[in-house]
Structure 1
Amino acid sequence: MSNIKIICDSLADIPTELVQKYDIEVVPLSIIFDDKEYIDGVDITKVEFYKMLRENDKLPKTSQVTYVAFKNVFEKYTSQNREILYIGGSSKASGTYQSAVMAKNDIKQGTINTFDSLSLSIGSGYIVLAAARLSKEGKNVEEILNHLERLRNNISLLFTVETLEYLQKGGRISLAKATIGNMLNIKPILCLEDGSIKPASQARGKKQVISKITELIKEQHGQDLSKKQVIIGCGDNDIDLEALKKKLNEEFNLGDCVEVNLGSCITAHTGPGVLGIACCDK
């Protein structure tokens, strides 16, 4: 067994079976809905959260992982003489990474390494899984971090939404743009650039947006994805995920493709009808 302990936060959407397979410690953020606080993935399931989003007009708020929570988790593993590698969701989107760095700086025993993925959701999860695989192969922390830096510079993360309503409520677009966009069935395609969410393209209707996403992936990675890791994710719109997977199989030589239902940290901002893809070298 590797002496490295991989730790991430719940901004990374990693399927439960892979969390268990690689023994990854996931430190949860909190969700605040109507003044009630839920621990992400602990007090509320993804299905319950999607339902809550569908049935309420108010947007929930996400609350970063606290300094104390990180300190407790880090000390748990340094006391076992484990070398820690914490990989955080983008520091430009949440204060969670900074909480981890503060906790690390106050712990005098053991070795704690922190890495800012500058990504979110399946993009961050992609980087965490790469680290977990390398650790299982016996690579040391320096080798893993060098590989993660290359991934961070080359990963493609694209996602789209079912409705512009949630982006408007969250202040990312104006009410006028959301209203017109929804009337015209315009679907934005968003990406992560240097840790921040940016517009990448747009299309009209689900069929066209899936075609555009695959076109953008092809431009960046070519048609042969057999040696690349692909992660696709959705909220409660599994039918859209199946359509995306079908299109990927038609357009690419596809290798390893992981599917995941996205968690509350991303769907709180995008709505439950979100669809995304992350792609890069393994």
Structure 2
Amino acid sequence: MMKIKYLNSSRLYRALAAGGKAVIASQDYLNMINVFPVADADTGINLSMTMRAVLQGRTQSGSLSGSLRSMADSALSGARGNSGIIFAQYLHGLSREIPAKDELELTSFASAALKAVDHLYQSLMNPVEGTMLTVIRRWAESLKTASEKTGDYLQALLHAQDTARQALQETPHQLKVLKDAGVVDAGAYGIVRFLEGVVDYIQKGSLREHISETIAAIEMPAIEDHSGAPTTYRYCTEAILSSVKADIKELKSLIGNLGDSIILAGGPDKYHLHIHTNQPDLIFDKLFNLAEVSSPKVDDMLRQYQISHERKFPIGLVTDTACDLPQELADRYQIVQIPFGISFGDRFYLDKHTIQAKQFYRLLSSYHKHPVSSQPAPAMIQNLLEFTAMNYDKVIAVHISDKLSGAYQSSSLIASRLAPGKLGVIDSKQLSVTEGLVTLRIVRAIEAGMSFEEIMESSKQWTRNTKIYTDINTLKYMVRGGRVPPLAGFIADLLNLKPIVSLDAEGKAQVYGKSLSRKRNMDKIIAFIGKELQTRKIWEYAIVHAEAEDRAQSYAHKLTQLTGKKPAYIMPLSPVVGVHNGIGAVGIGVSYDPA
């Protein structure tokens, strides 16, 4: 076979494409052996998505360093998860160390590959050996050693590949969690598959659609049940930071005590942050003071683990964050929530993920621009629904009224692509507290053993028998958000009118009543509910509020006297609903039993 004496832009791209295809072909196996740092079955997905970002981000350039830099930048932006960001950071370091040449001999490439390892380790708060870090480091060291004996890329890569395989086999001896599970490190295995894909391409000269899964030098252990659900930190949090006003040491110091698995990949012009934390909202609150923050991502590792390893029911439940249901109930029933977007100027948040109610209402009262809400990205909806559907016999998705958002339509489109009857999508014709009550009723039916078909049919009646009464303090937030014409808002303010807003049978907003005082509003709402109780019984009721807990408690006291039962819950109003209802609003949701 002809010796390969140099590397250029096109050869680099083809090699990376071959390596990426090998990783993508191994995606399912990588997911199955994923136990570190969290057994959330997503290493294969994360590495595959990162590989796709690398290949899609290549710009045409005759320069080897230019092509590598474009792919590294795309990797930083598109990387997912711990493993994806580590790979992206290594590419980033390599792109910074590669000499600005169109063609590169082996010794220069091997030297750059080893120097890039330093970039990788410096990006991590606490580097852990026995992972993909170890495999990358030992591969780079071996490549450098081989380059001192030969100028042939293939010969050196074969030598370094053998070293990487050996390092992979040793990972269970370095991390007890791997040994206990009987697996090698998933990220390290992904790197070995990548390297083998590169060598396979050089030897055979074609980018085949399917690359062999057989790795003769590595034993494939039987898959065992993984233990080790996330116990310390729950949320895998990521973001792209640009125009950063601090160096990497300051950034690490700022967030270092808020989590672990911290990676700051990239350089001063752009960082890709990865951290496991219990307070993603606090992370973003700090970051917005130091940088432009984009592409936020928050994965609930606990929920992922529960769904894939410890599901309670055969039917899974998904809803959106316009659904106001306490976290303790969402956890008890393993409910998945899809976040809406909220923008304060150029600050973009994920509702109930990177911003919580307390912080939202503080910004609402002080920020110079009124926030704008946006429906969940279709790709996010698809990823969460498909992951949930993969792990349950059936899935039910409950959404905010389709007259208020396109989330229901997005989920319905995804349902049409899945097996018939796999995913049932429900338009709750509600929002906030009443969407929460419909969701609670459905999940209790799941718990009671009702069938998928029975629940889908009964949900029509449950949505009809649920009513929301929202006691609005002022219309100024609805005016700012474009829900109410400015003139109407001005007149209401001039006359001190306090509207009661509800939803009609189709889920459209309607003014249900109005008064000249908040006290009269409360009296009217209690009277509305009292009249309904003359012909039917309450199943459950609940209350939400926007920085108006005292008023919510007053409603609870009066309704407890009226109904003889306490509210199912009282909680803050979701930020995405608070965009329009504003500070001081109180929502009362009532779910009635049929007359």
Summarize deviations over 1:18-70 as a string: whole Å, max 9, x none.
11111111111111111221011111111000101111343211111122112
- Aligned pairs, number: 281
Q: Which residue of 1 aligns with 2:582?
A: 271
**Offset at residue 182 of structure 1 (A):** 2.5
Say yes or no: does 1:27 pair with 2:346.
Answer: no
- Matches for 1:19-98 after TM superposition, within 5 Å: 19-98=330-409
CA contact (8 A) 1:13 1:263 kept: yes
- Find the partner of 2:457 among 146, 151, 158: 146
Q: Which residue of 2 aligns with 1:136?
A: 447
SS of corresponding position for 2:391: coil
Say yes or no: does 1:204 pair with 2:504.
Answer: no
Name the aligned partner's letter for residue 215 of structure 1.
Answer: A
**Offset at residue 255 of structure 1 (A):** 4.7
C-alpha distance in 2 between matches for 1:73 and 1:233 = 26
Name the aligned partner's letter for residue 251 of structure 1.
Answer: L
Summarize the Cα distance change of 1:183–1:246 in structure 2 as closer, same or farther, 3 Å threshold.
Answer: farther
**Offset at residue 257 of structure 1 (A):** 3.1
C-alpha distance in 2 between matches for 1:110 and 1:158 = 34
Q: Which residue of 2 aligns with 1:241?
A: 552
C-alpha distance in 2 between matches for 1:20 and 1:139 = 20
- Find the partner of 2:473 among 158, 162, 170: 162
C-alpha distance in 2 between matches for 1:223 and 1:50 = 38
Name the aligned partner's letter for residue 540 of structure 2.
Answer: Q
SS of corresponding position for 1:257: coil
Name the aligned partner's letter for residue 577 of structure 2.
Answer: I
**Offset at residue 223 of structure 1 (A):** 9.1
Summarize deviations over 1:131-153 as a string: whole Å, max 9, x none.
11010111111111222111111
Name the aligned partner's letter for residue 63 of structure 1.
Answer: S
SS of corresponding position for 1:273: coil
CA contact (8 A) 2:560 2:567 kept: no
Summarize the Cα distance change of 1:148–1:116 in structure 2 as closer, same or farther, 3 Å threshold.
Answer: same
Summarize the Cα distance change of 1:255–1:51 in structure 2 as closer, same or farther, 3 Å threshold.
Answer: closer
Q: Which residue of 1 aligns with 2:498?
A: 187
SS of corresponding position for 1:229: strand
Summarize the Cα distance change of 1:56–1:237 in structure 2 as closer, same or farther, 3 Å threshold.
Answer: same
Name the aligned partner's letter for residue 219 of structure 1.
Answer: K
SS of corresponding position for 1:254: coil
Q: Which residue of 1 aligns with 2:141?
A: none
C-alpha distance in 2 between matches for 1:110 and 1:143 = 13
C-alpha distance in 1 between matches for 2:568 and 2:489 = 32
Unaligned runs of 5+ in 1: none
Give TM-score scaled by structure 2 length.
0.45
C-alpha distance in 1 between matches for 2:335 and 2:534 = 31
Q: Which residue of 1 aligns with 2:300?
A: none
Name the aligned partner's letter for residue 524 of structure 2.
Answer: K
Q: Which residue of 1 aligns with 2:284?
A: none
Name the aligned partner's letter for residue 446 of structure 2.
Answer: S
C-alpha distance in 1 between matches for 2:390 and 2:462 = 31
C-alpha distance in 1 between matches for 2:560 and 2:535 = 10
Name the aligned partner's letter for residue 19 of structure 1.
Answer: A
C-alpha distance in 2 between matches for 1:223 and 1:276 = 23
More strand per residue: 1
CA contact (8 A) 1:237 1:273 kept: yes
C-alpha distance in 1 between matches for 2:418 and 2:562 = 50
Say yes or no: does 1:216 pair with 2:546.
Answer: no
SS of corresponding position for 2:440: helix
CA contact (8 A) 2:330 2:336 kept: yes
- Matches for 1:244-259 after TM superposition, within 5 Å: 244-259=555-570
CA contact (8 A) 2:560 2:566 kept: no
Say yes or no: does 1:18 pair with 2:336.
Answer: no
Summarize the Cα distance change of 1:250–1:57 in structure 2 as closer, same or farther, 3 Å threshold.
Answer: farther
CA contact (8 A) 1:66 1:99 kept: no
Q: Which residue of 2 aligns with 1:3?
A: 314
**Offset at residue 175 of structure 1 (A):** 2.8
Summarize deviations over 1:109-148 as a string: whole Å, max 9, x none.
8811111111111111111110110101111111112221
**Offset at residue 252 of structure 1 (A):** 3.1
CA contact (8 A) 1:64 1:95 kept: yes
Name the aligned partner's letter for residue 550 of structure 2.
Answer: I
**Offset at residue 256 of structure 1 (A):** 4.6
Q: Which residue of 2 aligns with 1:107?
A: 418
CA contact (8 A) 1:158 1:213 kept: yes
Structure index of larger Rg: 2
C-alpha distance in 2 between matches for 1:101 and 1:214 = 37
Name the aligned partner's letter for residue 582 of structure 2.
Answer: G
CA contact (8 A) 1:89 1:124 kept: yes
